[in-house]
Copies of this chain bind each other. A is one copy, B any other.
Amino acid sequence: MSQSLSRALQILIELGEGERSLDQVAASLEVHKTTAMRLLHTLEADRFVRRDDRQRYHLGSRLFALGGAALAQHAIRDVAQPHLARLAAETGGQAVHLAAYENGTAIYLAKVESTHAVRMYSRVGLPAALHATAVGKVLVADLPPGERDAVIAGIEFRPFTSRTIADAAGYREVLARTREQGWAEDAAEHEDFINCVGAPVRDEAGRVVAAVSVSVPDVILPREGVRALVPQLLAATEAISADWAGRSS
């Protein structure tokens, strides 16, 4: 592992939260300001960071150039987009997400924002806990057993709410049910007062390549009302799967 590279990556992550001065960066990294400055100048040389008139550091344009390239590499996103929009409309303007598995976590690839005032917080690119979200359960449920075991072994069962699944045994039961019924739910397990249902997008060989979810705050629909959206969710994921299969061949 490369220490100075790790430091530089921490700089980028921190700048994602807002601009910083050289001193702030150095303090945050717990290094001398000269060290921080050299890392920042290297990042600046390739447009990963930029400086403004007041010597404040910000994320640079290379990030959005590469961000666009990284998203473009998830081709399923383009295929799914119209279906996600339709699903959001059909479910009364709820938030709809597309997620994929990456390195022990679920990653939001696309999102249709809720039209309601009360919303859940999420952002494209941010991870979602495999054990606490509907998309996470869907992505893990259909993995080949050896792979699934390895993923479960790496999960830290962090309790987001009092309802979050607390251990591997409980999680395995939920995954078995997910496989059986073909969809999963998050019943206020990731966030109090928010319920989600999720279902898989499959490739032509039947492998799960992504997951779609509909998220609804309690004040808009109770849990049973969210479950009633499952048929529409399944229709959407089936349509995406068909389009994805058609595109891949």
A residues adjacent to B (C-beta < 8 A):
1-2, 4-6, 8-10, 12-13, 16-17, 19, 38-39, 41-48, 50, 58-71, 73, 102-103, 107, 123-127
Contact = CB atoms under 8 A, between A and B. Distances in A.
Contact of A60 (B1, B17, B70): B70
Contacts of A64: 67-68, 70-71, 124-125
A198 to B, nearest CB: 18
Interface of A is mostly: helix
Nearest to A126: B65
Given A2-B4, A13-B66, A19-B73, 7 more contacts: A2-B42, A6-B45, A9-B46, A16-B66, A59-B73, A60-B103, A66-B125
Contact of A42 (B9, B58, B124): B9
Contacts of A5: 4-5, 8, 39, 42-43
Contacts of A48: 9
A65 B125 CA distance: 4
A130 to B, nearest CB: 14
A47 B103 contact: yes
Given A42-B9, A123-B68, A63 B60 contact: no
